[in-house]
Structure 1
Amino acid sequence: MKIAILAGSNRKQATSTQLCRYIGSVLETKECEVTLLDLNELQIPFYSPDIESDNKNLQYMKETLKAADGIVLATPEYHGAPSGVLKNALDHVGFDHFDGKVVLSVSSSGGAVGISSLQQLQTIVRNVHGINCPEWISISGEQRTFTADGAPADQKTKDRAERTLNYFVGMVKTFRK
């Protein structure tokens, strides 16, 4: 089962990207083939409906999302919304990449838990005909501390991630084409 993780931060040590790496490692223990698309490293051009881009990073992202059985979208929460780099990346894709696929939304927020960004991601997923996983992962405050091996330092956060990922994997198995 192929899972694409789109890490939507433009920050080198972003906690949302650290969480994505942890999610990827957990998914690999569940026999998933995981591809992490880190938007800090994978620079995507600004979206314009007037320009057809042949950017190699953009093509790689599109191919990876299209081939995936399930997708994880992760973002920091900025001003109550997903990051601009994630929104820009999502503007480049559509039905061909999400139709009928289960999508898990993930957020990391410096303040209160990032509910607004998660709700907005779920709206985007609905509009590209993806299937929102009814569970999500959101970390904030002290939950954003990771151990040297990349796992969340907080046991409750690890337990919540494990339960959510079990649910997500079950849904992907059910809905994959």
Structure 2
Amino acid sequence: MEQTKKPFILGLGGTTSPVSSTEVALSISLEAAAAAGAEIELFGSDRLMALPHYRSDPAGLNQTGKDLVALVRRADGVILSSPGYHGTISGLVKNAIDYVEETSSDDRIYLDGLPIGLIVTAYGWQAVGSTLAALRSIVHSLRGWPTPLGVGINASGGMFSDGVCKDPAVNDQLKLVAQQVMQRAETR
């Protein structure tokens, strides 16, 4: 009996803190993907901060940048998670997404055909909505397939602590976005 390959789901996002609501939400979603049978990897705060500003010069990529590009190339699906800063995604997350440009001459260009789950945390609903729209637009421009559900979280109430989300409805949404990425990844 032939064993099927586990889908590889890359979690990309966070802030400068590994305990931020953005990275905790991403971790919860990735854990749901793992529970559904995925191999997962989190590219979070420590590695985001180790990325130099993206420039389209492969000689200028440090090892962290090369690792990120290799993970994107390997991914069967991606879950992106960004804080909403001043009505849009953070510079830290945008810089990491810019590294996808390194795949522009690959057989699978950019995120072509990949399911992409989206998570946004912000301290207010306005920033949640505009940041989620910005992420969707970026994913479309990179030829990815945003999942029907994008998780928008108003984190101003302090619902995340000790790696746990205290709001059952948000927890369910984080799991659902992972399930949607997995469903599409398994059918690719």
Identify whether the pair has TM-score above 0.5, normalized to the shorter chain.
Answer: yes
Q: Which residue of 2 aligns with 1:105?
A: 118
Residue 97 of structure 2 is aligned to residue 83 of structure 1: no
Deviation for aligned residue 1:78: 0.3
Residue 20 of structure 2 is aligned to residue 31 of structure 1: no
Deviation for aligned residue 1:142: 5.4
**Mapping of 1:19-168 within 5 angstroms?**
19-38=25-44, 40-42=45-47, 43-49=50-56, 52-94=59-101, 95=104, 96-112=109-125, 114-141=128-155, 144-148=158-162, 150-168=163-181
Distance 1:52 1:92 in 2: 13
Secondary structure of the structure 2 residue equivalent to 1:72: strand
Distance 1:158 1:57 in 2: 30
Q: Which structure 2 segments of 5+ residues have no match? A: 1-6
Deviation for aligned residue 1:173: 1.7
Name whichever structure is richer in strand by fraction. Answer: 2
1:56-86 Cα offsets, whole Å, 9 max, x none, are: 0000011011101000110000011000011
Deviation for aligned residue 1:29: 0.6
Distance 1:32 1:51 in 2: 30
1:96-134 Cα offsets, whole Å, 9 max, x none, are: 341111111111111126111111111111111111112
One-letter code aligned to 1:101:
L
Secondary structure of the structure 2 residue equivalent to 1:9: coil
What is the TM-score normalised by the length of structure 2?
0.84
Q: How many residues align?
A: 173
Per mean C-alpha deviation after superposition, the further-off stretch among 42-51 and 96-105 is 42-51
Q: Which structure 1 segments of 5+ residues have no match? A: none
Deviation for aligned residue 1:54: 3.2
CA contact 1:143–1:154 (8 Å) conserved in 2: no
Distance 1:170 1:144 in 2: 31
Give the root-mean-square deviation of aligned CA atoms: 1.9
Per mean C-alpha deviation after superposition, the further-off stretch among 158-167 and 97-106 is 158-167
Secondary structure of the structure 2 residue equivalent to 1:120: helix
